[in-house]
Amino acid sequence: MRIKESANMIPQCSRLVIFKYFILSLCLELVSCKLLRIYS
């Protein structure tokens, strides 16, 4: 039972991590674009 529960928990956690990294990457892209516009 414990193995099945942990196996079910892993995909949800990985989805949250991927979602967080996706948002972080978008923020970084927006910031880098703004900085490039300022310095260029």
pLDDT digits (tens, 9 = 90+) for 22-39: 999 999 999 999 999 988
Is the pTM above the cut of 0.85? no
Supply the pLDDT for residue 11: 75
Query: What DSSP designation does 34 have?
Result: H
The helix (H) or strand (E) run that includes residue 40 is: none
Better pLDDT: 4 or 30: 30
Domain boundaries, the chain: 1-40
Determine the pLDDT at residue 38. Answer: 87
